[in-house]
Structure 1
Protein backbone atom coordinates (compact mmCIF):
# COMPACT_ATOMS: atom_id res chain seq x y z
CA UNK A 1 0.00 0.00 0.00
CA UNK A 2 1.36 3.41 -0.90
CA UNK A 3 -0.89 5.88 0.87
CA UNK A 4 -0.67 9.37 2.32
CA UNK A 5 -1.68 9.48 5.98
CA UNK A 6 -3.66 12.42 7.35
CA UNK A 7 -3.79 13.46 11.02
CA UNK A 8 -7.03 12.74 12.92
CA UNK A 9 -7.90 13.82 16.44
CA UNK A 10 -10.74 11.66 17.79
CA UNK A 11 -13.35 13.38 19.90
CA UNK A 12 -13.28 12.91 23.65
CA UNK A 13 -16.44 10.80 23.36
CA UNK A 14 -14.89 8.52 20.70
CA UNK A 15 -11.78 8.05 22.82
CA UNK A 16 -13.75 7.27 26.00
CA UNK A 17 -15.99 4.79 24.14
CA UNK A 18 -13.05 3.19 22.32
CA UNK A 19 -14.99 3.61 19.08
CA UNK A 20 -13.12 5.70 16.54
CA UNK A 21 -14.74 6.07 13.14
CA UNK A 22 -12.50 7.77 10.58
CA UNK A 23 -14.08 10.06 7.96
CA UNK A 24 -15.83 8.13 5.20
CA UNK A 25 -13.07 8.56 2.62
CA UNK A 26 -10.49 6.25 1.09
CA UNK A 27 -7.74 8.04 3.07
CA UNK A 28 -5.63 6.68 5.92
CA UNK A 29 -5.60 8.53 9.24
CA UNK A 30 -3.03 8.73 12.03
CA UNK A 31 -4.65 9.06 15.47
CA UNK A 32 -2.73 12.06 16.80
CA UNK A 33 -3.38 11.72 20.57
CA UNK A 34 -1.30 8.54 20.64
CA UNK A 35 2.20 7.82 19.36
CA UNK A 36 3.95 9.14 16.27
CA UNK A 37 5.83 6.82 13.90
CA UNK A 38 9.41 6.14 14.95
CA UNK A 39 11.45 3.97 17.28
CA UNK A 40 11.64 6.93 19.69
CA UNK A 41 7.83 7.01 20.06
CA UNK A 42 6.59 6.85 23.64
CA UNK A 43 3.27 5.22 22.71
CA UNK A 44 1.62 3.03 20.08
CA UNK A 45 1.05 4.66 16.68
CA UNK A 46 -2.40 3.97 15.23
CA UNK A 47 -3.29 4.31 11.56
CA UNK A 48 -6.92 3.70 10.65
CA UNK A 49 -8.95 3.66 7.45
CA UNK A 50 -11.96 2.12 5.78
CA UNK A 51 -12.21 -0.90 3.54
CA UNK A 52 -14.83 -0.44 0.84
CA UNK A 53 -17.03 -2.90 -0.95
CA UNK A 54 -17.28 -2.02 -4.63
CA UNK A 55 -14.71 0.80 -4.57
CA UNK A 56 -10.98 1.07 -4.28
CA UNK A 57 -9.26 1.67 -0.97
CA UNK A 58 -5.67 1.03 0.12
CA UNK A 59 -7.06 -0.93 3.09
CA UNK A 60 -9.12 -3.34 0.95
CA UNK A 61 -7.93 -6.92 1.40
CA UNK A 62 -5.11 -5.84 3.72
CA UNK A 63 -5.55 -9.02 5.77
CA UNK A 64 -4.90 -11.27 2.78
CA UNK A 65 -1.92 -9.17 1.68
CA UNK A 66 -0.19 -8.91 5.08
CA UNK A 67 1.51 -11.70 6.99
CA UNK A 68 3.66 -11.88 10.11
CA UNK A 69 7.26 -11.19 9.15
CA UNK A 70 6.37 -8.76 6.33
CA UNK A 71 7.99 -5.33 6.52
CA UNK A 72 6.01 -2.07 6.45
CA UNK A 73 7.62 1.31 5.86
CA UNK A 74 6.20 4.57 7.17
CA UNK A 75 7.88 7.64 5.71
CA UNK A 76 8.03 10.60 8.08
CA UNK A 77 9.62 14.06 7.84
CA UNK A 78 12.70 12.51 9.51
CA UNK A 79 12.88 9.67 6.98
CA UNK A 80 11.58 6.11 6.66
CA UNK A 81 10.70 3.95 9.65
CA UNK A 82 10.55 0.19 9.06
CA UNK A 83 8.28 -2.16 10.99
CA UNK A 84 7.97 -5.96 11.05
CA UNK A 85 4.42 -7.31 11.19
CA UNK A 86 3.98 -9.35 14.36
CA UNK A 87 0.29 -10.27 14.09
CA UNK A 88 -2.70 -10.02 11.77
CA UNK A 89 -5.95 -10.63 13.65
CA UNK A 90 -9.67 -9.88 13.52
CA UNK A 91 -11.64 -8.36 16.36
CA UNK A 92 -15.33 -7.67 16.76
CA UNK A 93 -16.12 -3.96 16.50
CA UNK A 94 -18.22 -4.05 19.67
CA UNK A 95 -15.36 -5.48 21.78
CA UNK A 96 -12.47 -3.56 20.19
CA UNK A 97 -12.57 -0.93 22.96
CA UNK A 98 -11.43 -3.58 25.46
CA UNK A 99 -8.67 -4.97 23.24
CA UNK A 100 -5.04 -5.16 24.31
CA UNK A 101 -4.15 -3.15 21.18
CA UNK A 102 -4.92 -0.01 23.23
CA UNK A 103 -2.22 -0.86 25.79
CA UNK A 104 0.63 1.62 25.60
CA UNK A 105 3.52 0.03 23.70
CA UNK A 106 6.27 2.50 22.77
CA UNK A 107 7.28 2.28 19.11
CA UNK A 108 4.55 -0.21 18.09
CA UNK A 109 2.44 0.40 14.96
CA UNK A 110 -1.19 -0.73 14.74
CA UNK A 111 -3.27 -0.58 11.55
CA UNK A 112 -7.05 -0.90 11.91
CA UNK A 113 -9.60 -1.34 9.14
CA UNK A 114 -12.88 -3.12 8.41
CA UNK A 115 -12.82 -6.83 7.60
CA UNK A 116 -13.96 -7.08 3.96
CA UNK A 117 -15.95 -10.27 4.63
CA UNK A 118 -17.86 -8.62 7.53
CA UNK A 119 -17.66 -4.83 7.07
CA UNK A 120 -20.16 -4.07 9.81
CA UNK A 121 -19.06 -6.55 12.45
CA UNK A 122 -15.30 -7.04 12.48
CA UNK A 123 -12.04 -5.16 12.13
CA UNK A 124 -8.66 -6.33 10.86
CA UNK A 125 -5.84 -5.44 13.24
CA UNK A 126 -2.22 -5.45 12.11
CA UNK A 127 0.39 -5.07 14.85
CA UNK A 128 4.00 -4.32 13.97
CA UNK A 129 7.24 -3.61 15.85
CA UNK A 130 9.91 -1.13 14.76
CA UNK A 131 13.04 -2.56 13.20
CA UNK A 132 16.42 -1.16 14.23
CA UNK A 133 17.62 1.70 12.05
CA UNK A 134 19.96 0.52 9.33
Structure 2
Protein backbone atom coordinates (compact mmCIF):
# COMPACT_ATOMS: atom_id res chain seq x y z
CA UNK A 1 0.00 0.00 0.00
CA UNK A 2 1.43 3.39 -1.00
CA UNK A 3 1.70 5.89 1.83
CA UNK A 4 2.80 9.49 1.91
CA UNK A 5 5.33 11.14 4.14
CA UNK A 6 3.64 14.44 4.85
CA UNK A 7 6.04 15.99 7.34
CA UNK A 8 8.67 18.67 7.12
CA UNK A 9 12.18 18.49 8.49
CA UNK A 10 14.83 21.00 9.51
CA UNK A 11 18.36 20.18 8.42
CA UNK A 12 21.22 19.88 10.88
CA UNK A 13 22.88 23.05 9.60
CA UNK A 14 19.90 25.12 10.73
CA UNK A 15 18.36 25.83 7.33
CA UNK A 16 14.66 26.51 6.96
CA UNK A 17 12.34 23.50 7.06
CA UNK A 18 12.26 21.55 3.82
CA UNK A 19 9.44 19.39 2.55
CA UNK A 20 10.60 15.89 1.67
CA UNK A 21 8.04 14.78 -0.85
CA UNK A 22 7.12 12.80 -3.98
CA UNK A 23 8.44 11.82 -7.35
CA UNK A 24 10.50 9.00 -8.75
CA UNK A 25 13.84 7.74 -7.56
CA UNK A 26 17.03 8.01 -9.55
CA UNK A 27 18.91 4.73 -9.43
CA UNK A 28 22.62 5.33 -9.10
CA UNK A 29 25.23 2.82 -10.20
CA UNK A 30 28.26 2.43 -7.92
CA UNK A 31 30.36 4.36 -10.43
CA UNK A 32 27.94 7.31 -10.26
CA UNK A 33 28.41 7.81 -6.53
CA UNK A 34 30.85 10.54 -5.47
CA UNK A 35 34.35 9.54 -4.44
CA UNK A 36 34.70 12.31 -1.85
CA UNK A 37 33.76 11.45 1.73
CA UNK A 38 32.92 15.09 2.48
CA UNK A 39 29.28 15.36 3.60
CA UNK A 40 26.94 18.07 4.79
CA UNK A 41 23.90 18.09 7.01
CA UNK A 42 21.34 15.54 5.86
CA UNK A 43 17.59 15.65 6.07
CA UNK A 44 15.91 12.45 7.13
CA UNK A 45 12.27 11.82 6.19
CA UNK A 46 9.69 11.49 8.88
CA UNK A 47 6.66 9.22 9.23
CA UNK A 48 3.19 10.22 8.15
CA UNK A 49 0.89 11.28 10.96
CA UNK A 50 -1.98 9.46 9.26
CA UNK A 51 -0.48 6.07 10.15
CA UNK A 52 -0.08 5.13 13.80
CA UNK A 53 2.48 2.78 15.33
CA UNK A 54 2.16 -0.86 14.30
CA UNK A 55 2.26 -3.87 16.61
CA UNK A 56 4.68 -6.44 15.22
CA UNK A 57 4.84 -9.74 17.10
CA UNK A 58 8.31 -11.36 17.07
CA UNK A 59 9.95 -8.22 15.68
CA UNK A 60 12.00 -6.00 17.96
CA UNK A 61 13.34 -2.45 18.25
CA UNK A 62 16.71 -1.92 16.55
CA UNK A 63 19.40 -0.87 19.02
CA UNK A 64 22.61 -0.99 16.95
CA UNK A 65 23.71 -0.95 13.32
CA UNK A 66 27.05 -2.11 11.93
CA UNK A 67 27.82 -1.43 8.25
CA UNK A 68 31.54 -2.19 7.78
CA UNK A 69 31.80 -1.00 4.16
CA UNK A 70 30.92 2.57 5.18
CA UNK A 71 32.64 2.39 8.60
CA UNK A 72 29.36 2.62 10.50
CA UNK A 73 29.25 1.05 13.97
CA UNK A 74 26.57 2.93 15.82
CA UNK A 75 23.87 2.70 18.48
CA UNK A 76 20.35 3.32 17.14
CA UNK A 77 18.03 5.61 19.08
CA UNK A 78 14.21 5.74 18.77
CA UNK A 79 12.71 8.85 17.20
CA UNK A 80 8.99 9.60 17.43
CA UNK A 81 6.72 12.62 17.04
CA UNK A 82 5.73 14.98 19.80
CA UNK A 83 2.15 16.25 19.85
CA UNK A 84 3.35 19.63 18.61
CA UNK A 85 5.29 18.10 15.71
CA UNK A 86 2.28 16.01 14.74
CA UNK A 87 -0.02 19.03 14.79
CA UNK A 88 2.43 21.15 12.75
CA UNK A 89 3.28 18.36 10.33
CA UNK A 90 7.00 18.83 10.95
CA UNK A 91 9.84 16.94 12.55
CA UNK A 92 13.13 18.32 13.84
CA UNK A 93 15.60 15.46 14.40
CA UNK A 94 18.18 16.08 17.09
CA UNK A 95 21.25 17.79 15.58
CA UNK A 96 23.56 14.98 16.66
CA UNK A 97 25.75 12.44 14.84
CA UNK A 98 23.43 9.59 15.81
CA UNK A 99 21.33 7.00 14.00
CA UNK A 100 17.58 7.21 14.58
CA UNK A 101 14.86 4.60 14.12
CA UNK A 102 11.50 6.05 13.02
CA UNK A 103 9.20 4.44 15.58
CA UNK A 104 5.78 4.82 13.84
CA UNK A 105 6.92 2.54 11.02
CA UNK A 106 8.39 -0.97 11.12
CA UNK A 107 10.58 -2.98 13.44
CA UNK A 108 13.01 -5.57 12.05
CA UNK A 109 12.93 -9.30 12.63
CA UNK A 110 10.63 -12.29 12.14
CA UNK A 111 7.04 -11.10 12.06
CA UNK A 112 7.85 -7.65 10.69
CA UNK A 113 4.85 -6.14 8.93
CA UNK A 114 6.37 -2.91 7.65
CA UNK A 115 9.56 -1.28 6.38
CA UNK A 116 12.09 -0.29 9.03
CA UNK A 117 13.63 3.20 8.60
CA UNK A 118 16.96 4.28 10.12
CA UNK A 119 17.95 7.86 9.38
CA UNK A 120 20.65 10.32 10.34
CA UNK A 121 22.59 13.43 9.45
CA UNK A 122 25.75 13.50 7.39
CA UNK A 123 28.07 16.31 8.42
CA UNK A 124 30.62 18.49 6.67
CA UNK A 125 33.84 18.84 8.63
CA UNK A 126 32.90 16.61 11.55
CA UNK A 127 32.44 12.88 12.12
CA UNK A 128 29.14 11.11 11.55
CA UNK A 129 28.35 7.41 11.12
CA UNK A 130 26.45 8.35 7.95
CA UNK A 131 29.30 10.27 6.27
CA UNK A 132 30.64 7.29 4.33
CA UNK A 133 27.36 6.20 2.73
CA UNK A 134 27.50 8.48 -0.33
CA UNK A 135 31.06 7.54 -1.27
CA UNK A 136 31.37 3.92 -0.16
CA UNK A 137 28.01 2.13 -0.18
CA UNK A 138 27.63 -0.53 -2.87
CA UNK A 139 24.85 -2.96 -3.85
CA UNK A 140 25.63 -6.33 -2.31
CA UNK A 141 27.09 -4.85 0.90
CA UNK A 142 26.13 -6.61 4.10
CA UNK A 143 25.17 -4.87 7.30
CA UNK A 144 23.94 -6.03 10.70
CA UNK A 145 21.10 -4.59 12.76
CA UNK A 146 21.02 -5.77 16.36
CA UNK A 147 17.80 -6.02 18.38
CA UNK A 148 16.86 -7.43 21.77
CA UNK A 149 16.12 -10.68 19.92
CA UNK A 150 19.60 -10.86 18.40
CA UNK A 151 21.47 -9.72 15.26
CA UNK A 152 19.86 -9.55 11.82
CA UNK A 153 22.00 -9.51 8.67
CA UNK A 154 20.85 -7.53 5.64
CA UNK A 155 22.18 -7.25 2.10
CA UNK A 156 21.99 -3.98 0.16
CA UNK A 157 19.65 -4.35 -2.82
CA UNK A 158 19.55 -0.83 -4.23
CA UNK A 159 21.10 2.61 -3.78
CA UNK A 160 19.07 5.54 -5.06
CA UNK A 161 18.89 9.30 -4.72
CA UNK A 162 15.74 11.34 -4.23
CA UNK A 163 15.24 15.09 -4.46
CA UNK A 164 14.14 16.31 -1.04
CA UNK A 165 11.17 18.11 -2.60
CA UNK A 166 10.06 15.08 -4.60
CA UNK A 167 10.29 12.35 -1.97
CA UNK A 168 6.75 12.36 -0.64
CA UNK A 169 5.28 9.83 -3.08
CA UNK A 170 8.37 7.65 -3.39
CA UNK A 171 8.02 3.87 -3.37
CA UNK A 172 10.36 3.78 -0.37
CA UNK A 173 7.27 4.57 1.74
CA UNK A 174 5.50 1.42 0.56
CA UNK A 175 4.85 -1.09 3.31
CA UNK A 176 7.35 -3.90 2.69
CA UNK A 177 7.63 -6.34 5.63
CA UNK A 178 11.23 -7.00 6.59
CA UNK A 179 12.79 -4.32 4.38
CA UNK A 180 15.37 -1.92 5.84
CA UNK A 181 15.81 1.63 4.51
CA UNK A 182 18.67 3.99 5.46
CA UNK A 183 18.41 7.67 4.54
CA UNK A 184 20.91 10.53 4.77
CA UNK A 185 22.21 13.46 2.69
CA UNK A 186 23.74 12.82 -0.75
CA UNK A 187 27.11 14.54 -1.02
CA UNK A 188 26.88 15.47 -4.72
CA UNK A 189 23.93 17.74 -3.92
CA UNK A 190 24.35 18.73 -0.30
CA UNK A 191 21.14 20.72 0.09
CA UNK A 192 18.79 19.17 -2.43
CA UNK A 193 19.13 15.40 -2.48
CA UNK A 194 19.05 12.44 -0.14
CA UNK A 195 20.71 9.07 -0.67
CA UNK A 196 18.68 5.98 0.15
CA UNK A 197 19.87 2.46 0.91
CA UNK A 198 17.33 -0.35 0.54
CA UNK A 199 18.26 -3.71 2.04
CA UNK A 200 16.66 -7.11 2.54
CA UNK A 201 17.20 -9.56 5.41
CA UNK A 202 19.29 -12.64 4.75
CA UNK A 203 17.60 -15.92 5.73
CA UNK A 204 18.73 -17.20 9.11
CA UNK A 205 20.64 -20.47 9.19
TM-score, shorter chain, exceeding 0.5: yes
Match of 2:35 in 1: none
1:21 CA displacement: 4.7
Instruction: State yes or no: 1:57 paired with 2:128.
Output: yes
Question: Runs ≥4 in structure 1, deviation > 3 angstroms?
Answer: none
Match of 1:66 in 2: 137
Indicate which of 165, 173, 186 corresponds to 1:102. 173
Map 1:1-134 → 2, pairs under 5 A? 1-10=72-81, 11-12=85-86, 13-14=89-90, 21-134=92-205
SS of 1:88's equivalent in the other structure is: strand
Structure 1, unaligned stretches of length 5 or more?
15-19
Bigger Rg, which one: 2
Which structure shows the higher strand fraction?
1
TM-score (norm 1): 0.91
SS of 1:3's equivalent in the other structure is: strand
| Cα offsets for 1:60-102 (capped at 9, x unmatched) | 0302221111111001111000111000111100111111000
Provide the C-alpha distance between the structure 2 equivalents of 1:81 and 1:90, rounded to a whole number of angstroms. Answer: 25
SS of 1:101's equivalent in the other structure is: helix
Provide the C-alpha distance between the structure 2 equivalents of 1:39 and 1:130, rounded to a whole number of angstroms. Answer: 10
Q: Choose between structure 1 and 2 for higher RCO, CA contacts under 8 A separated by at least 6 residues.
A: 2
Structure 2, unaligned stretches of length 5 or more?
1-71
Provide the C-alpha distance between the structure 2 equivalents of 1:100 and 1:29, rounded to a whole number of angstroms. Answer: 21
Aligned-pair RMSD on alpha carbons?
A: 1.3
Match of 2:6 in 1: none
